[in-house]
Structure 1
Amino acid sequence: MSIAERLNNLGITLPDAPAPAANYVPFVVSGNLVYVSGQVSNGPDGLITGRLGDTMDVAAGAAAAKACALSLLAQLKAACDGDIDRLVRVVKLTGFVNSTADFTDQPKVINGASDFLVEALGDAGRHARSAVSAASLPLGVAVEIEGIFEIK
């Protein structure tokens, strides 16, 4: 089954790839790798803001991370000229969690993205990963994730 068919079967429509907010590009293709700039947590109702360990719980943070993963796939699709089935695999994610100094469940938050990518992409969604805390993130968002993807 193609990636596009898997997404469709899950009822997932990728959003339009978000435009960069400053002087950078949303992705860089180098050989067979696509480096996608950090995607902030953004949903149908706008930015998903909050601070883990303060105004947001792990489940809400994981949902914010899943929203980041959707934006990563949207950027990847744009990098592949609209053909998401050029994806070979997710190579690595780096997740940043807006959290208090004593919050230690960053990996559980970023699991929202990782679990979604495996559900949507199967084995191609399995990846290396880092999950780190940030004292704050742009615009007060809860999560930001960048990714590296292999394409054909």
Structure 2
Amino acid sequence: MSVYDKLKQLGIELPPVAIPAAAYVPFVRTGNLVFVSGHIAKRDGKPWVGQLGKTMGTEEGKAAARSIAIDLMGTLHAAVGDLGKVKRIVKLMSLVNSASDYTEQHLVTNGASELFGQVFGDSGAHARSAFGVAQIPLGACVEIELIAEV
């Protein structure tokens, strides 16, 4: 089953590339690697605002991370033209807007990691980092960046 068949089966439509909000580009391709800039969580087209452990729980954060994975795949599709060319999701870096005593950033990030595994199979298994941070641009609850091999 192709990546696009899996996306369709999951009811996922890839969004267009978001226009950068600052002085950067959505992705950079160098050699066989594509570096996708950090994407913040959005809900209804607006930043998904919140702080884990204060105004949001882990399950909502996980849903936000999953939504970011969809946006990242849309940008990755724009970068390579065909997600079938992706050999491997190499690494995710996840920043979770967290209260000082919140320690489940890794569980929030699973929302993205699990979706990449569903869509790309073994090629979706990746290295990753998940950090708790004091704030993310626009008050977003989660931001994730991605590196892929093509």
TM-score (norm. length: structure 2): 0.97
Question: In the alignment, what sits opposite 2:140?
Answer: 141
Distance 2:68 2:16 in 1: 13
Structure 2 unmatched runs, 5+: none
Give 1:45 deviation, angstroms. 4.6
Question: In the alignment, what sits opposite 2:12?
Answer: 12
Q: Which runs of 4+ in 1 moved over 6 A?
A: none
How many residue pairs get aligned? The number is 150
The SS at the match of 1:147 is strand
Question: In the alignment, what sits opposite 2:100?
Answer: 101
Question: In the alignment, what sits opposite 1:25?
Answer: 25
Structure 1 unmatched runs, 5+: none
Question: In the alignment, what sits opposite 1:64?
Answer: 64
Question: In the alignment, what sits opposite 1:112?
Answer: 111
Distance 1:33 1:44 in 2: 31
The percent of aligned pairs where both chains have the same amino acid is 47
Give 1:2 deviation, angstroms. 1.2
Q: How does 1:79-98 map to 2 (within 5 A)?
A: 79-81=79-81, 83-98=82-97
Partner amino acid for 1:86?
A: K
CA RMSD of aligned residues (A): 0.9
Moved more, 61-70 or 38-47: 38-47
